[in-house]
Amino acid sequence: MAGRVTIKSIAQDLGISHMTVSRALSGHPNVQKETRAAVLERARELGYVKSAAATTMRGDATKIVGLLLPNIVNEFYARFANVMALDCEKHSYHLIIHLTNDDVEIERQSLERLREVQARAVVMVPAPGKSDGSNPHLEAMQVIQLIRRRKLPFAHGAVLVDDRAALRDAVIHLAGSGHRAITYIGADGALSSGRKRLAAYRQGLKAASLAEDPGLIHRGAPSFEMGRAAADLVLDGGKATALVCGGFEISNGALSALMARGIQPDGAFAFVGYGDPTFYAWVGGGVSTVRVPVESLAQRAVELVAAGQDKPGMRNDASETFMAELIVRGSGRQYSEAP
């Protein structure tokens, strides 16, 4: 009805200058005690809220933090977002979430929109697709890459995972349980994470003195569907007795392929997933997996964002790496020859 409540409308209401209202509201010392009280009370009554738009336009940094994730249904990403949202609440940041579905074009758009609202920082899982060297202008925001890493033409932070030992151990463990045909499903070489994980798988084979069989390696753009399709291929082949996954989405997709066939990931067919959703412990005899420390990753990400605010203009190019860990459950424990 009466339009927005602003410092001016309050000032008019009280018959004073809008500057006095501003000072009273922002706790400036130079205000008469009673005046301040009157302003505070009237503001509360009227339901005044400071306009973030005005503040932003004056040049103050926003409290907006962007988060770009492939999706938010995968429990890893969900947990990451959950922890970040909670931590952002502490700093009273606004968390804007964009889902990219690992599509570079959507990623580009999302970043542009975040630039429009002058997001202070963006935490992003870079999409694996080819980036045509676009978006050279996001220097305005602090950028923190998550899990994966793409080359950027400016300084940026990174929160990464070192899963090499865990993946290698997974292969060694499976071999130790008697498996000889161990399949790997992972991301292609578009990003370094995909290359590193495959290398770790190979190291595992070598350590276990197993020969590499190219037919047992499936790679592609990482997605739930890709994981499912590849696992179907593996199961149709009937050669492999064990499967190691190199990606969150891939892992869930592959597992769903097993479940669709009623295959329990246990003795006869071994499965090592990636990421550790709660339910992995509950399926079959428990799904073995490479666990990634989500909480630590998310907390560190917000810490980097918060740190970036102290040195405005400075670009935080800190990069931190967390170790993944192999969790062995029923699904990888023992190889039992089919009866």
Does residue number 47 form part of the binding site for DNA (CB under 7 A)?
A: no
Residue 35 CB, nearest approach to DNA (Å): 4
d(CA 307, CA 265): 44
String marking each residue 269-308 x if it binds a second copy according to CB under 8 A: --------xxx-xxx-------------------------
**Taking CB under 7 A as the rule, does residue 44 contact DNA?**
no
CA–CA distance, 107 with 117 (Å, rounded to integer) = 16
Interface residue with a second copy, options 41, 105, 112, 162 (CB under 8 A): 112
- 18 is in the binding site of which of DNA, a second copy, none (Cβ under 5 to 8 A by kind)? DNA
Contacts of 47 (CB under 8 A, 6+ apart): 5
Single-letter code of the amino acid located at 194: G
In 3D space, the residue among 56, 38, 35 whose CA is nearest the CA of residue 46 turns out to be 38
**62 is a site residue for DNA (CB under 7 A):** no
Does position 42 interact with DNA (CB under 7 A)? The reply is no
Q: How far apart are CA 198 and CA 79, in angstroms?
A: 26
Residue (of 190, 199, 261) closest to 223 by Cα position: 190
Which partner from the list a second copy, DNA, none does 90 bind, CB cut-off 5 to 8 Å by kind? none
> Is there binding between residue 23 and DNA (CB under 7 A)?
yes
Q: Which of 251, 255, 323 is nearest to 292 (CA)?
A: 323
Distance of CA 266 to the CA centre of its chain: 30
Closest to a second copy by CB, 175 or 270: 270
Do 228 and 216 contact (CB within 8 A), yes or no? Answer: no
Rule CB under 7 A: say whether 25 interacts with DNA. Answer: yes
- Kindly indicate which of the ranges 6-14, 62-70, 88-96, 234-242 contains the residues binding DNA, using the contact rule CB under 7 A: 6-14
Which C-beta is closer to a second copy: that of 71 or that of 203?
71
d(CA 125, CA 51): 31
Q: Which stretch binds a second copy (CB under 8 A): 43-51, 181-189, 296-304, 316-324?
A: 43-51
Interface residues toward DNA, by CB under 7 A? 3-4, 6-8, 16-20, 22-23, 25-26, 29-33, 35, 48, 50-51, 53-55, 57-59
